[in-house]
Amino acid sequence: MMDILGKPATMAMVSTSNTALPFKRKRSRCLIDCVGNATGDLLPFKDVTKSKVISCAMEWAELNGNEGELAGEIIGKDGEVLPDVKFQEHGYHRHCYNRFTDVSKIARARTKKQNTGK
Ligand SMILES: [Zn+2]
C-alpha cells in the first residue's frame, strides 16, 4: 500500500526498540568495553552505576587482563578517577557493565593472580 506521497507503506512500520533511552544524546563510547562485541544502546551512567564501576575499577586495577587495562584507563594509581574520564559524556553496554561489575569474576581473577603471579 502506498500513501499519497508515494512512500512505501513499510516506512511507517520502522519499529523502535523498547529499551530506547528516554533521551537521545549520542554517547561517544562505552567506558567499560570489556566484552568486545557488545551490542545495543549505550546507557547513561547514574550515580549508583558510576560508583559501582569506580569501586570495581579499583579492584580490577590490581589485576591483569582486559578489565585490568580498562580499569587503568579509568582510575589512577591513587584510586582517583582520571581527570579525562568523563562519565557523563560516555555510557556503557549493559553486557559490559554486568561483566565488569561481576564480583565472582573479580574474585576468580584475584585467586588466579595469587596462584600464578599473573
Ligand atoms: Zn561495551
Top-confidence residue, 63 or 2? 63
Top-confidence residue, 117 or 70? 70
What's the 69 CA to ligand 1 centre distance in angstroms? 14
Task: Give the pLDDT score at 116.
Answer: 86
Residues at Cβ < 5 Å from ligand 1 ion: 30, 33, 38, 93, 96
- Going from the C-alpha of 23 to that of each of 57, 106, 109, the distances in angstroms are 27, 33, 37
- Contact residues for 104 (Cβ-Cβ < 8 A; gap 6+): none
CA 19 to chain centre: 16
Task: Give the pLDDT score at 3.
Answer: 59
Task: Give the pLDDT score at 1.
Answer: 57
Query: In whole angstroms, what is the distance from residue 83 CA to residue 60 CA?
Result: 19
| Three-state SS at 30 | strand
Give the global pTM: 0.74
